């Protein structure tokens, strides 16, 4: 049975104190089932602190929202994958649409980040998704295929197992507009087919594919009931303790 994930992307929100309270309350009050895993993605400076909170609890882990595309060196302001590992991070989000659009991250740059992250034995949450203009032209499948092909499909099968894919249509992120369960399922199924063609059926069946984009406790259950949706990458709703706990408790 595929592992199910509920991930909290806190983006550029919270103070250290707020992040600690949020994570502590979620850990205290939520009861993930044995096949569910919860990941907190706080801002960089709080990773160590949240890693201490989740330490020893197998249902939770912590990760970074990004990492540098260079291994180390004179890159003022950047945070390398090995640094994330050294403060207890287990995951890195790579290819979030906000990184692609606001910071002009190309598929080639993302490929480098993926490799550096995996080299540190961290797992990758790889985001892909089309814009509204691309969906209106019905080229969403092509766009997602290109994103996967250019940044992760070069990996060998052993490395690919450390990837979780998050399909996040850009038009659904932070907009309150969610993809319908059918639209999401269609894309998740398409992604799984691509993995089967590129690798094999077994690997395609093992890889978890999350949906992201305005997930709330109200729409979570219809999304999670789709056969190829293995959880969610949650932005705004993950900053609200009860709302996020409700998404976990919808169950998967």
The helix (H) or strand (E) run that includes residue 28 is: helix 16-29
Q: Is 168 in the site for ligand PGA (CB under 6 A)?
A: yes
Whole-angstrom distance, CA of residue 205 vs CA of residue 79:
33
148 vs 247 by CB, closer to ligand PGA: 247
User: Cβ of residue 180: shortest distance to ligand PGA, in angstroms?
Assistant: 15
The helix (H) or strand (E) run that includes residue 8 is: strand 4-9
User: Cβ of residue 208: shortest distance to ligand PGA, in angstroms?
Assistant: 15
Q: Is 9 in the site for ligand PGA (CB under 6 A)?
A: yes
9 vs 204 by CB, closer to ligand PGA: 9
Q: Is 174 in the site for ligand PGA (CB under 6 A)?
A: yes
217: Cα within 13 Å, side-chain hemisphere: 14
Q: Is 217 in the site for ligand PGA (CB under 6 A)?
A: no
Which span (45-53, 148-156, 194-202, 212-220) binds ligand PGA, by CB under 6 A? 212-220
Whole-angstrom distance, CA of residue 92 vs CA of residue 252:
23
Query: Which residue lies nearest ligand PGA, judged by its C-beta?
Result: 235
Q: Of 98, 120, 130, 168, which residue is the catalytic one?
A: 168
Q: Is 96 annotated in the active site?
A: yes
CA distances from 99 to 11, 79, 191 (A): 11, 14, 21
| Complete DSSP assignment for 53-77 | HHTT-TTEEEEES---SSSSSS-TT
Q: Is 212 in the site for ligand PGA (CB under 6 A)?
A: yes
Q: Is 95 in the site for ligand PGA (CB under 6 A)?
A: no
User: Cβ of residue 212: shortest distance to ligand PGA, in angstroms?
Assistant: 4
Number of amino acids touching ligand PGA (CB under 6 A): 13
CA distances from 29 to 1, 24, 61 (A): 26, 9, 16
Angle between helix 16-29 and 47-54 (nearest 10) = 20
Which of residues 50, 233, 245, 252 is near ligand PGA by CB under 6 A?
A: 233
Which sequence positions are flagged as catalytic? 96, 168
What is the binding site for ligand PGA (CB under 6 A)?
Answer: 9, 168, 173-174, 212-215, 233-237
């Amino acid at each position: 049975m595929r592992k199910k994930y509920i991930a909290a992307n806190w983006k550029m929100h919270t103070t250290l104190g707020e992040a600690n309270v949020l994570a502590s309350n979620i850990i205290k009050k939520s009861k993930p089932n044995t096949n569910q895993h919860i990941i907190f993605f706080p801002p960089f400076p709080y990773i160590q602190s949240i890693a201490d909170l989740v330490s020893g609890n197998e249902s939770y882990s912590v990760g970074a929202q990004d990492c540098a595309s260079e291994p180390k060196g004179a890159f003022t302001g950047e945070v390398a994958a090995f640094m994330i590992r050294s403060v207890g991070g287990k995951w890195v989000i790579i290819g979030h649409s906000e990184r692609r659009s606001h910071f002009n991250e190309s598929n080639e740059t993302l490929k480098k980040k993926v490799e550096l992250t995996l080299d540190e034995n961290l797992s990758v949450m790889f985001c892909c998704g089309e814009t509204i203009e691309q969906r209106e032209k019905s080229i969403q499948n092509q766009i997602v295929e290109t994103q996967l092909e250019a940044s992760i499909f070069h990996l060998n099968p052993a490395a690919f197992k450390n990837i979780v894919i998050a399909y996040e249509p850009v038009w659904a992120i932070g907009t309150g507009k969610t993809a319908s369960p059918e639209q999401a399922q269609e894309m998740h199924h398409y992604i799984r087919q691509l993995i089967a063609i590129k690798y094999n059926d077994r690997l395609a069946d093992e890889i978890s594919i999350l949906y992201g984009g305005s997930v709330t406790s109200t729409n979570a259950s219809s999304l999670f009931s789709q056969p190829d949706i293995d959880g969610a990458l949650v932005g705004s709703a993950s900053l609200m303790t009860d709302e996020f706990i409700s998404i976990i408790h919808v169950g998967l």
